[in-house]
């Protein structure tokens, strides 16, 4: 499923080290690419979700995710901040460096769960994460996320 929806032009290497600024940057990217129309509603939904509970799952990974009305097909946008995002709370209290934003349509609960598990399983493979954390360009991140 990941190979069908993940795009190299939806990967950022932001200078920002603030969770909301990085999420906003990904939302802006989705808007610029024409994948969403109401970036304020999306950002508000993602911030609300983060306020309920941080999506920092550990191992340096944050996965903000939302079922969003405007989305027809699943969308993934990625940001890598190798130095870490200071205010991104994580289950293991390690700095989040890789942010993987997942959006699905309101009715796509199964797809949502499948995407989450596929991404996490892939990232847990041997040396994929350390190599992603050292990546210096979006194409390299794309290749590592898809192929390891």
Beta strand spans in the chain (E): 11-12, 56-58, 61-62, 65-67, 75-85, 96-104
Tokens of 123: 């990232």
Cα torsion 134, 139, 143, 148 to 10°: value is: 0
The one catalytic residue among 65, 107, 112, 122: 65
**Cβ-contact 27, 46 below 8 angstroms:** yes
Within 8 A by CB and 6+ apart from 66, the residues are 42, 45, 46, 49, 102, 103, 104
Known catalytic membership, residue 112: no
Nearest to 14 by CA among 96, 79, 64, 77: 79
Residues assigned a catalytic role: 65
């Amino acid at each position: 499923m990941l190979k069908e929806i993940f795009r190299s032009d939806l990967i950022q290497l932001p200078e920002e080290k603030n969770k909301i600024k990085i999420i906003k940057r990904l939302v802006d990217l989705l808007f610029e690419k024409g994948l969403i129309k109401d970036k304020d509603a999306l950002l508000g939904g993602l911030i609300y979700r983060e306020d309920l509970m941080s999506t920092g799952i550990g191992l340096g990974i944050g996965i903000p995710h939302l079922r969003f009305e405007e989305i027809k097909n699943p969308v993934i946008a990625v940001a890598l901040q190798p130095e870490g995002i200071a205010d991104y709370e994580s289950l293991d209290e390690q700095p989040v460096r890789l942010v993987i934003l997942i959006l699905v349509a309101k009715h796509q609960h199964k797809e949502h769960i499948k995407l989450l598990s596929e991404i996490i399983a892939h990232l847990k493979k041997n040396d994929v994460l350390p190599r992603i954390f050292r990546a210096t360009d979006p194409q390299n991140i794309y290749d590592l996320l898809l192929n390891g």
